[in-house]
Structure 1
Amino acid sequence: MKLTRQKHHWLIIVFLLLGHLTYGQTQRTITGTVVNSSTSQAMPGVTVSVKGAAAGAVTNNNGEFTIKTSRSLPLTLVFTYIGFSTQEVTVTDTSAAVNIQLSSTEILGQEVVVSASRTAQSILESPVSIEKLDNRAIKATPAPTFYDALANMKGIELSTQSLTFKSVNTRGFNSNGNTRMLQLIDGMDNQAPGLNFSVGNIVGITELDMDNVEVLPGAASALYGPNALNGIVLLNSKSPFQYQGLSAIVKSGILSDDGRSKGTTGYYDVAVRYAKAFNDKFAFKINLGYIKADDWQAYDDRDQSLLNGYDLKTGNRINPGYNGVNTYGDETNVNMYGALKPAALTPGNPLGNGIAALSAATGGAITPEQIYKAFMPDSARSFVSRTGYNERDLADYDTKNLKVNAALHYRFHSNLELLAQGSYGTGTTVYTGADRYSIKNFRMGQYKIELRADNFYVRAYTTQERSGDSYAVGTLGAGINEAWSPSASQWFPEYFGNYATQGLTAFSTVFQQSLQSGQTPAQAFAAATAAAQGGSTQFHSAAREFADRGRLIPGTPQFDEAAGKVKNKPIPGDVATGIGAKFTDKTNLYQGEFMYNFKNQISFMDLMIGGNYRVYALNSDKTIFAVDDNGDEFRINEYGGYVQAGKKLLNDNLKLSAALRYDKNENFEGQFSPRLSAVYTFLKTHNIRTSFQTGFRIPHCQDQYIDLLTPQARLLGGLPFLRERYGLNGPNVFSLESIQAGNPQPYTFREFKPEKVEAFEIGYKSLVAGKLFIDAYVYTNTFKNFNGSQVLVKVTQTGQEVYSIPVNYQNDLKSWGWALGLDYRLPANFTVGGNVSYNKLRNEDELGSFQAMYNTPRFRYNLNVGNRNIAQSNFGFNISWRWQEAFVWSSSFVGPLVRVNNLGEIPAYGALDAQVSKLFPKPKVTIKIGAANLTGNKYIQSWGNPTVGTQAYASVGYNL
């Protein structure tokens, strides 16, 4: 041990001596300023580097820079800034200041991206598909926020669940709260740990601090690990060294949709950023953002029950079994025919006595069962549901979002930086899952410390989720109903009794009148049956009115009191003690990771390694997740590592790369994720790429450990111990499908495995004549062990128990698609462009009853035209049109939605977005006016979600 320590001591001394020798060489200091050629304003954040050396600097808030280098004269300085022409200057004398003017230009294909290979490279030479939105594009976007602007990218779609909660998806299998897309904010996984999906930008980066967004469509697990199955979104904030000073923006506008409680309401968005750097060593920044609005509302009242012979196209509130898409509490239903039959055929109660008396009057020629069938709808048409409440009466639409971010940076020298960063977000919004969830007073924090250079980083971070006062809206509706009038003991008996009384009275009256008029019993029976069946609609209406007498009315103190009790009781509760709707989750995530690039040690090839260790600490106050034998909720441990190698051949025209990653979750076998890619460059700006890679998704925390009793079923995780705990491995457990088919078959479990995808892609990128940027690709995906839910029925001596459990689909799912993007630079810096994408599930006809939930339109396209600075007037504009075709959405939203006859169709829609802006250079003020969905063509993007109307806004920004 002593010898080892001595070796370490000698190594430290050697490094210190080498460092001393290095810094002891002759240092030359070069100073200067950079200004905008069109405005003469200082340009902070310009990168100034010494060509062929590691030395460099970034201009400060006054456009000034200082570089210290040991390189001999003459040397070349390179000045780069996004949206401006790169300029090189030869320096022969360090005593004279270097003063530079940079000219603005439209850039096409010149962006530098990092996410594709975890190292900086030209977007033209990326080995996989990638989309980028830089801060210049963010300022010019016609969307209300940069997150909304993602929908204009090629092959990318959004699912809007509320104003501030949107899910990103690519290449099919879209969902609300998408667990197959990974989102990183400054390298930190932005998922809510207990839910395992990104919460949009509720806890993230403000518009002022957003530097750029990179999106990789398709599998990305080889470098980014679990959950990057469908793609990855990387959001990167601004460095306080590059972007200094005070910035602020005030944005206000309206949300307009005539289907809302109040058609037009205001919204407000404010952000402030301050950053300061001291002596190129220490810098800090602080950000504050706040949004407030009356949210979009979900008010689809179509009948999704599929009961009594109705469907979405024909059902309405006349259906006794009505279950509106966005009405809640009406999911609870009972088959009246089966529920009343025992009493109807057994004397000793009013109904049974009445039927028996009628039968006796015919001398037994007409049996009690015949009479019962005569005045009751048959069993297939006698479902009755509770009266529900509209979502607007249950959800909290008072949307608020507060974001606070702070970071401290310290540079040991120009290529080694230590930073500590914290982000905190809180607010109220609405999210769609199997239910609609009112995410009220939600809180989440992300905190990290990181040491980084241009060839490595080491970081540790934690994500802390607190669900606050969140509750399930659908469960709340059912809970209010039960609190007022329990279904089993009061409401349904009153409804059924009233209906039976009316039906039997009508039947009896006509039957006796017919007999008295001389008709035969058979003729009288036929007339009475017709009268009873003809009055069915009226009987249902009167029975519901009777059972609903005294029903709690939204807005009354009695309603608010009942709702408050349900909201504050943890989910699920039960009918006996009161249903609970409160969603409790305090799960934390902890992660440590590193990356090292051997570029300074190896020159003949690129070599990189990296790894991570992750822990989920589940905590739902024992309401959502299962507990172990000691009564404690579980911790989940994961780790992974990767290596990537690359080599340029054929005079650097061919770049080959290979990556291999291994990940292990304690509950599943380890997963290998390889990626092979090749990029061939010809004629300097034309690039053909091809890649093969695999991606995987470890079942998320709920798929592993959920143990939650709901009114419809008990939701269980897929781990073996939970099956054993509830006795689901026995011969008395059947699939719901087999029971519905009339042939119950015992269900046999298979091993529960992570999902996997094998992805192959060919793409082409080019910049033609410096004006036309082309980006195209075609891909195929093969998914294995696809994760879906299986409903099981366990038959016991006392009845039936229903379970819903995640399982893997036995066969492969295959999809393919393509996309094409074109952008053209016109004279005077006008630009025009567009993109189109196509996605298709190839073996959809082979799925049978399995719901793949592909949930993606085949065709989507975007068109745009704009100019950031018309004729150097500092006026700019941008107009975009986005369109997608209709498609079928499969979901478990408030009960299973059956895919029959295009049920669950999301209609096609097109939306026009536009904005104009004006920069006033001297006061550094930018005014922007715009609107999303300017034509008011309201739309929904996924099942159960709100209707989106027009969002108009005006903003005033300082020092953007």
Structure 2
Amino acid sequence: MSRIFTRLACLLIVLFVSANMVFAQNSTISGTVTDNLTRETLPGVTVTVKGTTISTSTNENGQFTLNTSATAPFTLVATYLGYKTVEQTVTGSATAILISMEAQAIMGQEVVVAASRTPERILESPVSIERLGQTAIKETASPSFYDALTNLKGVELSAQSITFKSVNTRGFNANGNTRFNQYVDGMDNQAPALNFAVGNIIGMSELDLDNVELLPGASSALYGAGGINGTMLLTSKSPYSSQGVSFQLKTGLNHLNDPNQKARPFQEAGVRFAKAWNKFAVKSTVSLLTADDWQATDYTNFDRNSRSVKGGDRTTDPNYDGINVYGDEVNVNMRNVANNVLTATSAGIAAASGGAIPNINAIITASLPVNATPAQIGAFLGGFPAALRPSIQNAIPFNIGLRAGLIPDQSVSRTGYNEKDLVDYDARSFKTSNSLHYKLSNTVEAIAQVNWGAGTSVYTGSDRYSLRNFSIGQYKLELKGQDFMLRGYTTQERSGDSYISSILGVYINETSKANSTWFPQYVGNYVGARAAGAQDAQAHGLARSAADVGRYQVGTPQFNAAKEKIMNSTISSGAGAKFDDNSNLWHYEGMYNFTNALQDKLELQVGASYRVYDLNSGGTIFDDLNREIDINEYGAFIQAGKKFSDIFKLTLSGRYDKNMNFEGRFTPRVTGVFTVAPNNNIRASFQTGYRNPTTQNQYIDLAVLGGATRLIGGLPESISKYSLYTNKPFTDVSYRAFLASASAGTPNPALLQTYTFDPKGVRPESVKAYELGYRGLLGSKVLIDAYGYYNQYKDFITAVDVYQNVSNVFTRFGVPVNAAGEVTAYGTAVGIDYMIGTFNLNGNLSYNKLGEIPVTYVNDFNTPTVRYNIGLSNREVVKNVGFNASYRWQDSFYWTSSFASGNVPAFGTVDAQVNLKIPSVKSVIKIGASDLLNKYYTTSFGNPLMGGMYYVGFTFNQ
């Protein structure tokens, strides 16, 4: 912690030396804001002294009071969503001011920042952008605003847990999406060891959220490496303009008609406090969510060699490997077991006999026929010393079984445990954000901010990871003004009690009975059953029952003790499943906008950043058990824009980024906006996206899937560590062909094809993105936004599974590599908002398609071809009563990931809410449901089925 405070203290000194403190005499002004038609007072209106950042909001009676150093005449600016902005000059008395506001439709008039890193109307954005403002956030039908993101055009979520959802746009979706950036108040929200945002676990409380802006496309030219498929910015409310105490309570039910458990409650509570004293302000938010999580219960049989679903279950397939079953990833070929037993027995007897019996296997073959009777076997054993007889007797069934053809060329797997018996489904999410603000002048503000979140969730990567008591803290110092920004922050990730579910299942099995005992027992009992006349299926059942004797049963003291011990032992100890991650990220950046200095003749911005990844997993994720790993990155950007006759605006952007392990990259962007009519614009852009291989792509060294696969980094040093350059491995396709030939009884080593890794290792990935779009108002009632895009990916980062032969033992490695050739994707989307009186009818349609791909590339274009949303809402259908309802549908598609691959069925869901406003107490009561019809669905293969969530909420002073 001393390192954190030392760095942040140094930055604080720099920030405060950068500006002069201003002190002035203050005066108090007050008044009332009303609706000009109904004459009713309006609570929650923001009132600002023009030209300053001094502001307040009206109370439940529409009254406001604020302190200012301004002297009359000065201008007050009143803003309220759904009303025209009012400017009123104060020339005399500064008390009893009356401001009257007029309601209006505001379609297309929202101001966005993310598209150009400078404020502009959304209609004039040079690239596609989606926005959720305060009204949309308040009126969302989903239990969480984060869940409502999927109703935005071109946006989808991959849900792995009730609290863990990954946002994606434009294909190549993933459970942990490393191609999509998420920023919270300017801070990159990624977990340093994962390189993606962990949903909203440490994100923003709904009470404090001002707006969400989402760029569904490449954004590296402005935001640096990453965000190759999209960037989302979440911005909190200012304590100067949104003051007072707010709180929110939600309670509800889920798991209705869930075959896995009874209906269970979920609760969420949040509190926000903000107070400003002229220059100084404080803000604090706290929220807590608790729920019983959705349970992953897909027991489909999965072939991990071919990465595809296969038929059968535990009773019909001896090599059954259930998708959400763990411990059954460990398998062995029955003939290999028999041969290993005979080899080990021969070596043991040779040693015990002092070399007098060099090869007992050969002696058994020569002495006993395959149909030997018990009497013959007894007579044979009588010829050996009593001490050797048990070992010889144990070897006889394996010898006879192989010679008689009773042992098939069949792999068998251990009996696994269901995920629900291993994973912690007690979902919790605690978030808090605390900040101090000081205005050095009317336009310069210093901020010290701490965001901290912790919780329990489940994440799907190359395995199913139980994130228990996982936490991330973000600590920021920032100085921002009208034309500049200086920011420094650190992200501190702590894995808590998180563990790998498959490793837990494997080690519980190993603790109850070692593999070296279980598999020989299985094969030996199988041979005995077949010799006694049992059919194959019956023999397998008898063999498993015999080998499973002593297996720890779920819920028994033995099972619980083993589970607890393994969960709390680290992966690096060789006997545990627990992570020990304490990785950090340090980031420093600055930006200056020269536009005002150039008197609007040219829009010009420059910026630079420096970042350090400090990896500390104790050998439980990265190859850092006996060393420290730091990764340094830096970058800089410039953007210039110019308007020509208010009809056309051209913007040029470019950014250079350098990672210590890779060559630097330059990412340009060119955009143009053509105004074809007032409030109607055509936009065109060429953007480039760029991302470095993630920290795991570079340095991971981790056994997953029960130890069946070792994931390693794609850097040359990682590949060399396992001699994959010199002892070249075999491709997964050729290895599967070899296994097929062996199963047919004629193993053919000539089928094995070696894989050659690039001497330079994995390289950064880039994309060229072309987009043409239109956004415009047709009259004042219809807003249309449409776009088409075409993406060309180069050096696309994927992964290969290879099999290395060491002493006739094949080890499987998962290694990140770049796909050969070019990967293309294209799509289009259109959204329409139509105001019918006070009703808003809206809908959007998205289409995404994968273009050409190289034959060596594993297709993980994880997105449905077609999806759409239809919504209807009314903020006040009758006095103080509003509603919002939406229907979402998406097509079926094939999901590919390192965990599992398979078909995701099409589904449609209905979300709805009705709300009652109680102005007298500044409160809202909301009753709603997501998946109102309770039709269970999944967003990605291997993740849990989710159903309806029904809730009632009470919000005060939002």
User: How high is the TM-score relative to the length of structure 2?
Assistant: 0.87
Query: Structure 2: which amino acid aligns with 1:936?
Result: N
- Does the 8 Å CA contact 1:572/1:708 hold for their aligned counterparts? no
Alpha-carbon distance, 1:740 to partner = 3.6
Does residue 869 of structure 2 align to residue 869 of structure 1?
Answer: no
What residue number does 1:526 align with?
A: none
8 Å CA contact 2:44, 2:80 repeated in 1 = no
Counterpart for residue 87 of structure 1: 86
Q: Call closer, same or farther: CA 1:240–1:373 in 2, change over 3 Å.
A: farther
Name the CA shift for 1:30/1:649 in 2 (closer, same or farther; >3 Å). Answer: farther
Question: What do residues 418-456 of structure 1 show as CA deviations (whole Å, max 9, x unaligned)?
Answer: 111101111111111111111001111111011111211
Establish whether residue 888 from structure 1 lines up as the match of residue 894 from structure 2. yes
Q: 1:308 to 1:544 in 2, by over 3 A?
A: farther
User: 3-state SS of the aligned residue for 1:413?
Assistant: coil
Task: Describe how 1:123-522 pairs up with structure 2 within 5 A.
Answer: 123-279=122-278, 281-305=279-303, 311-312=309-310, 315=313, 317-340=315-338, 348=360, 356-358=368-370, 372=402, 376=406, 378-379=408-409, 382-487=410-515, 489-506=516-533
After superposition, give the CA deviation of every residue in 1:760-792 in whole Å (9 maximum; x if it has no partner). Answer: 000000011111010000000011111111223
1:647 aligns with one of 639, 642, 657:
642
Instruction: Say which of 630, 635, 651 aligns to 1:657.
Output: 651
1:225 Cα deviation (Å)?
A: 0.6
Answer yes or no: is 1:557 the counterpart of 2:557.
yes
TM-score of the superposed pair, with normalisation by structure 1: 0.87
The residue aligned with 2:733 is: 737
Tell me if the contact between 1:591 and 1:614 (Cα under 8 Å) persists in the aligned partners: yes
Q: Residue 290 of structure 2 contacts residue 429 of structure 2 at CA under 8 Å; is this kept in 1?
A: yes
d(CA) in 2 for partners of 1:15, 1:444 = 31
Choose 746-755 or 816-825, whichever is displaced more. 746-755
2:632 corresponding residue in structure 1 = 637
Aligned length: 884
Task: Verify: 1:597 aligned to 2:603, yes or no.
Answer: no
Structure 2 partner of 1:6:
none
Q: Is the 8 A contact 1:193 1:616 kept in 2?
A: yes
Identity within the alignment, %: 44
Question: Which residue, 622, 625, 639 being the options, matches 2:622?
Answer: 625
Q: SS of the residue aligned with 1:594?
A: strand
**Cα distance 1:152–1:455, how it changes in 2: closer, same or farther (>3 A)?**
same
Q: Report if aligned partners of 1:29, 1:94 keep a CA contact under 8 Å in 2.
A: no
Cα pair distance change 1:286/1:54, threshold 3 Å: closer
Whole-angstrom CA distance in 1 between matches of 2:291 and 2:907: 24
* Structure 2 partner of 1:808: 818
Assess if the C-alpha contact under 8 Å between 1:343 and 1:349 holds in 2: no
Cα deviation, residue 76, structure 1 = 6.6
Does the aligned pair in 2 maintain the 1:308–1:383 contact within 8 Å?
A: no
In structure 2, the CA distance between the partners of 1:207 and 1:732, relative to structure 1 (3 Å rule), is closer
Deviation at 1:65, TM superposition (A): 4.8
Question: Residues 790, 28 of structure 1: CA spacing in aligned structure 2 closer, same or farther, 3 A cutoff?
Answer: same
Post-superposition Cα deviations, 1:609-647, rounded to whole Å, max 9, x if no partner, equal 11111111110123322249xx32211111111001000
CA positional deviation for 1:803: 2.4
Greater Cα offset, 551-560 or 369-378 = 369-378
CA shift, 1:189, in A, is 0.6
Match of 1:945 among 943, 946, 953: 943
1:770 to 775, 780, 803: 780
Partner residue, 1:521: none
1:546 corresponds in structure 2 to 546
In the TM superposition, residue 399 of structure 1 has moved relative to its aligned partner by 0.9
**2:318 alignment partner AA:** P
Contact 1:597 1:607 (8 Å CA) reproduced: yes
Could you report, residue by residue, the CA deviation over 1:772-815 in whole angstroms, capped at 9, with x for unpaired residues? 01000000001111111122333334644432211111111100
Residue 804 of structure 2 aligns with which residue? 794
CA RMSD of aligned residues (A): 3.0
Give the deviation of 1:957 after TM superposition: 1.2
Shift of residue 841 of structure 1?
A: 0.5
Tell me what 1:694 maps to: 688
Deviations 1:595-617 (A, max 9, x none): 11112211201000111111111
The 5 A counterparts of 1:681-720 are 681-710=675-704, 711-720=707-716
Contact in 1 for aligned 2:730/2:752 (Cα 8 Å): no
CA deviation vs aligned residue, 1:309-334 (integer Å, no higher than 9, x gap): 99445556421111111111111111
For residues 801 and 13 of structure 1, what CA distance do their matches in structure 2 show?
Answer: 58
Alpha-carbon distance in structure 2 between the residues aligned to 1:564 and 1:265: 26
Q: 1:667 — aligned with what?
A: 661
Deviation at 1:378, TM superposition (A): 4.6
**Contact 1:322–1:330 at 8 Å: present in 2 too?**
yes
Partner of 2:532: helix, strand, or coil? helix
8 Å contact kept, 1:344–1:372: no
SS at match of 1:490: helix
AA aligned opposite 1:64: T
Aligned to 1:817: 827
Q: Secondary structure at the match of 2:369?
A: helix
Question: Partners of 1:750 and 1:761 in 2: how far apart?
Answer: 36
**What's the secondary structure of 2:595's corresponding residue?**
helix
Match of 2:579 in 1: 583
Give the distance between the partners of 1:938 and 1:447, measured in 2 at CA: 39
Partner Cα separation in structure 2 for residue 96 and residue 395 of structure 1: 61
**What is the Cα deviation at residue 707 of structure 1?**
1.9
- Contact kept, 8 Å, 1:646 with 1:657, in 2: the verdict is yes
Matching residue's letter, 1:256: H
- Counterpart CA distance in 2 for 1:387 and 1:597 is 63
Q: 1:671 to 1:309 in 2, by over 3 A?
A: closer
Tell me the CA shift for residue 907 of structure 1: 0.6
Q: Which runs of 5+ in 2 are unaligned?
A: 1-15, 347-358, 374-397, 738-750
The question of whether the paired residues in 2 share the 8 Å contact of 1:836 and 1:859 is answered with: yes
Match of 2:64 in 1: 63
Q: Is the 8 A contact 1:55 1:68 kept in 2?
A: no
Matches of 2:462 and 2:17, distance apart in 1: 61
- CA shift in 2, pair 1:352/1:683, >3 Å: farther
1:743 Cα deviation from its structure 2 partner? 3.3
Correspondent of 1:935 among 908, 933, 940 = 933
Q: CA deviation at 1:63?
A: 2.7
Cα deviation for residue 357 of structure 1 reads 1.2
CA contact (8 A) 2:239 2:283 kept: yes
Distance 1:313 1:712, change over 3 A: closer
Q: 1:451-472: CA deviations, max 9, x gaps?
A: 1112111111111111000011
Residue deviations 1:307-363, cap 9 Å, x none?
Answer: 8999445556421111111111111111213433576899956996699513799xx
Counterparts of 2:579 and 2:771 in 1: how far apart (Å)? 41
Whole-angstrom CA distance in 2 between matches of 1:14 and 1:46? 30
The question of 1:854 aligning with 2:854 is answered no
Gaps of 5+ in 1: 1-11, 362-367, 507-531, 898-902
Contact 2:819 2:854 (8 Å CA) reproduced: no
